[in-house]
Each structure stands twice: as C-alpha cells, then as structure tokens.
Homo-oligomer: A and B are copies of this chain.
C-alpha cells in the first residue's frame, strides 16, 4: 500500500518536474533574448540577416572550443591549452597539406589526430601523474604554442593554392538567397554541438564524464577505470579542438602560428556563463552554446552601436555578470 502511494505521488511530481524543467530551459535563453531585442531596438543595422550570420560565424570557433572544454570542466578539470592547441592542429594540418602535399582529407585527419594526441597527453598527466589540470594544461599551452611557432617557422602557412580548403568553413551548403547563406563553419559548429550533446547525455562516455566530476572516488570504487575515462575526455576535447583548428585555418585560409593564446579563456567563459560549474558534475551543451552566443552577440552589438572600445570592455564585463546572475536567479527557483 505504502508503495502504491509513493508511486502515485511520484507520477504527479514527475509531471510537475518535467514541465518546470522545460520552463527552465526556455528561460535559459532569456539573457540572450534580452540582448538581441535590446540591440535590435538600439540599431536598425543589428537585426539583419547578414549580421545575424556574422554573429553566428563569429561564435563558431569559440563555440566549438567551448563545447570541447565543457566536457573537461564537467569532469571537474580545466584545459588552458585549447587555444594554442587549436593553433597547433591548424599548423599541422597546413603542414600536411601545403608542405607535404598530402590530400586535404589527410590534412583534416592530421589536425584531429594532433588534437587527440595533445589532449590525450594532458589527460595522462592529469590522470596518471596526478598533476593538477591547471598545471598540466598550462604546460601543454606553452608546449603547443612554442611548437606551432617552431613548426611553422613563425610564419603563417597559406592555403592559397588550395581554395577547396577555404570552402570547408566559408562555403555554404545551405544557400537561401544571395544574402542569406549559412556558411559551413556555422553548420559544423551546430553539428559538433548536436553530436556532443548526444554523446554527453546519451552515452556511457557522457555518463562517466558527469560521474567523475561528481565524485571520482565513488566512481573508481564502482569498478570503473576512471583514469582511462579521464584521458578519454581530454583526448575527446582535443579532437574537438582539432575541428576548431580546421575551422579557423580554413576561414583565414592560413594557419597563423601566433594566434590562439587567450582563446581558452573566452571558451571557458562561455562554458561558465552557460551554467556549467567549475567544480564539475554538471553542465549542458545548450548552456555552453548560449554562453558562446551571449559573448559574441554582446561584442557584435556593442560594435554595431559604435561604442568606444574601452566602454565596450566595461559594458561587456557588466553584462556578463548580469546575464549569469539572471541565470542563477532562474535556477534558484
């Protein structure tokens, strides 16, 4: 009898639960929507197809990096090397295609493989050598930064002779009108996000990612090789970073070996704005995407309004705080 009663209340509560969850999800967009509405009212130039596409394109690389590092942050770790690692993957890809004259697809594989190796190495340092992720990936940051410069001889490697490479990011599979073409980079970004979201929520890998962030020792004592999975998470993030490397190299038609430093902070910021906790165990891809969009919308909007740069910086700081605060209020309810 008691059991029946519990089951009953369970059902009722569950409905309430899911519907409030749905509301929560919609509300998560509120900061972004407020921003978009605000900018649209402030400038007629903001809410234009071309500009919206520009915003999406500006979000793409940072968004992909953020999706990757989100996995690591959910395990309770951090990766400071993603920016410069992205550079290295771009440089390696260029090296393979331009200097070794390998087919483009091999160049893409090289980029992703480079990411997997570097990420995996960070993972080994964290999981096996028990280095704090901050240090392991700071080391990897310096390592990949230096290596990019060395391999590229501190000069960009241009894809001028490989116009197809540029099409990876800048071509458009979906062309609606002349003005309304969604560049592939944006599609790649969404594809990475969707695949990652599925992996994070629907696979064992995703489960372990959350579980390790929640209580690693309990997971280990459940007979799971947590070290292996942690390495896998860093390597997986590396693979995604490789995708970002391809995206940026193809957008710029060149691998720029000096670029990349600082991109990690933007990506981590997107993740945290998106509600992932730095102490691990929780986070969503949707949140991360929203976080990335908040940053790029903000940047774009303030520029459209021709706000002087120093005021742009101040305003960005204030709005990020406000957006996250809104999100916290939403969750508290």
A317 touches B268 (CB 8 A): no
Q: Is A20 an interface residue (CB 8 A)?
A: no
**Which residue on chain B has the smallest CB distance to residue A315?**
B146
B142 touches A324 (CB 8 A): no
**Which residue on chain B has the smallest CB distance to residue A138?**
B269
**Which residue on chain B has the smallest CB distance to residue A312?**
B146
Question: What's the nearest-Cβ distance from chain B to residue A48, in Å?
Answer: 27
Q: Which residues of B contact A138 (CB under 8 A)?
A: 265, 269, 272, 317, 320
Q: Of A3-11, A107-115, A127-135, A165-173, which binds chain B? A: A127-135
B313 touches A149 (CB 8 A): yes
Q: Is A192 an interface residue (CB 8 A)?
A: no
In-complex Cβ contact of A321 among B135, B149, B314, B324 (8 A) = B135
Q: Is A51 an interface residue (CB 8 A)?
A: no
A132 touches B277 (CB 8 A): yes
| Given contact pairs A278-B132, A325-B129, A142 touches B310 in the complex (Cβ within 8 A) | no
Q: Is A125 an interface residue (CB 8 A)?
A: yes
Tell me, in angstroms, the Cα distance from A22 to B318 when the chains sit together. 47
B328 touches A129 (CB 8 A): yes
Contact-residue size bin, chain A (C-beta under 8 Å from the other chain): 35 or more
Tell me, in angstroms, the Cα distance from A268 to B313 when the chains sit together. 23
Question: What's the nearest-Cβ distance from chain B to residue A325, in Å?
Answer: 6
Tell me, in angstroms, the Cα distance from A58 to B140 when the chains sit together. 24
Q: Which residues of B contact A321 (CB under 8 A)?
A: 125, 131, 135-136, 139
Q: Which residues of B contact A310 (CB under 8 A)?
A: 146-147, 149-150, 154
* Binary CB contact string for chain A from 196 to 217 against chain B (1 if under 8 A, 0 otherwise): 0000000000000000000000
What 14 additional pairs, Cβ within 8 angstroms, besides A129-B325, A129-B328, A135-B269?
A: A131-B321, A134-B272, A135-B272, A138-B269, A138-B317, A138-B320, A139-B317, A139-B321, A142-B314, A142-B316, A142-B320, A145-B317, A150-B310, A262-B262
Q: Which residues in A have some Cβ–Cβ distance to B below 8 Å?
A: 78, 80, 125, 129-136, 138-143, 145-147, 149-150, 154, 262, 265, 268-269, 272-273, 277-279, 309-318, 320-321, 324-325, 328
Can you name 28 A-B pairs with beta carbons within 8 Å?
A78-B278, A129-B325, A129-B328, A130-B328, A131-B321, A131-B328, A132-B324, A135-B269, A135-B273, A136-B321, A138-B272, A139-B317, A139-B318, A139-B320, A139-B321, A140-B317, A142-B314, A142-B316, A143-B318, A146-B310, A146-B311, A146-B317, A147-B314, A149-B310, A149-B313, A150-B310, A150-B314, A279-B279
